[in-house]
Amino acid sequence: MINQVKTYLLALQADICTQLEAVDTEATFIKDKWKKPNNKGNGLTRVLTNGKVFEQAGVNYSIVHGDDMPASATALRPELAGRRFTALGVSLVIHPHNPYVPTSHANVRFFLAEKDGEDPIWWFGGGFDLTPYYGFEEDCIFWHQNAKDACTPFGDEVYPKYKKWCDDYFYIKHRDEQRGIGGLFFDDLNEGSFEQCFAFMQSVGNSYIKAYRPIVEKRKDSEYGERERQFQLYHRGRYVEFNLVYDRGTLFGLQTGGRTESILMSLPPKVAWEYQYQPKANSPEAKLYEYYLKPQDWINAN
């Protein structure tokens, strides 16, 4: 199981980085290989900074081993307590320069939890979501259509289920706001065979760049000014708040003694907070909060 997933994840990471470099045209990803002490894991972090299109793009592969599942994993699944584990995955966050290009996030992962004398427990998780600063209905529809296409071979009920899970998960409780327009989120997937679940994880992983790259290419040359840039920096603060307060992947990485630089590469290089900011009525900024950051059926949007 581990070797099959590892081979796929490294190929996925390489493909996504190649495609993002082709879009940026100027900057390239640095490769940072790392190892944890005592054979507790290793990884390959790839980061692009200060490109023509991307202010920062991080695409991280990691595999970690531990003797006990951390609290972030056992809180919802107490049967995992006391098991040694292996966790591997690819996680990425892309922060563009242009405020009209949305930030995007994707993650696909596999866990194996073992205990002597008992059957191993394994599962897949992952998904992708989009965080625009200025909304475009056609982009929202395109993004969600790709998400649906990734799910359709596995059943008509899969996309609605994991779309709702994404909307529910990427919700900033203390702001009463969605982080973005959603996409897909799934976890604890082990129904059916390993091969079936692995195929679904690959479908989701492969779909991400198909959904994101065309949106970037469409918006990357849009003209913008200081107003749009400042709003982008302000709204990026929501991304930081979610990742540090709620994100299960961030908490898992920190609780298992993961590599901090790789875990926190998801944070934007520049961000701003403004006390009691309120967008002007009927402005594009107001429309983001009033319309785009509301869960809805984008594929059938009128």
105 belongs to the catalytic site: yes
∠ CA(31), CA(34), CA(35), 5° rounding? 160
Unique residue bearing structure tokens 């966050």 = 93
| Conformation bin of residue 30: beta by default, left when phi > 0, alpha when psi is -120 to 50 | beta
Question: What letter represents residue 166's amino acid?
Answer: C
∠ CA(250), CA(255), CA(260), 5° rounding? 60
Q: Max Cα separation, the chain?
A: 63
Catalytic residue among 95, 105, 144, 235: 105
In angstroms, what CA-CA distances link 11 with 32, 109, 192?
Answer: 16, 14, 25
Q: What is the DSSP string of 186-214?
A: EEEE-SS-HHHHHHHHHHHHHHHHHHHHH
**53 is written with which tokens?**
């299109």
Active-site annotation, residues = 105
